[in-house]
Amino acid sequence: MANGNGSIRKPNMYHPLIITTIEGTLNNYDRNKSLHAHIALGNILTPTSNIQTEQQLHTAIQDAWLATYDGVNDIHIQEMTDERWITYITKEIYDGNKECIDWQNCHIPYAALTN
């Protein structure tokens, strides 16, 4: 758990921010593109987090992904430096795929909206 018991006791403050998109579900523009996810994470590397470094975060994500049936060792993690990342991960909306945002796996803590 990224933020220990805090994410259970106060999920609106300590739960990680997660925005997930699934790309390639309506792939009619690139025959070489495979189904894949883009995930924006926030509120992860905090003072109370069990994960303290980017390497620990990468290892945790890689271990979880490789434990799945479809998991392959093709994971790219980079720091989001500006709003262009959100535009990039939602680009399929502009190509007509309004369902690319995986709302069931998104979580935006209330604290993220008030800061």
pTM of the model as a whole? 0.69
Domain count, the chain: 1
For residue 108, the enclosing domain spans 6-114
Q: Does the residue 51 lie in any domain?
A: yes
Categorise residue 86: left if φ over 0, alpha if ψ from -120 to 50, beta otherwise.
alpha
Q: Does the residue 80 lie in any domain?
A: yes
- Cα 74 → chain centroid: 15
> How is residue 103 written in tokens?
């709302």
- Backbone phi, psi, residue 77, to 5°: -120, 130
pLDDT tens over the chain, length 115 residues: 455 565 566 655 667 888 888 887 765 556 666 778 888 888 877 777 788 888 888 898 889 888 988 777 778 777 777 788 888 888 888 888 888 888 898 888 777 676 5
Q: Does the residue 91 lie in any domain?
A: yes
Q: Does the residue 37 lie in any domain?
A: yes
One-letter amino acid for residue 70 of the chain: D
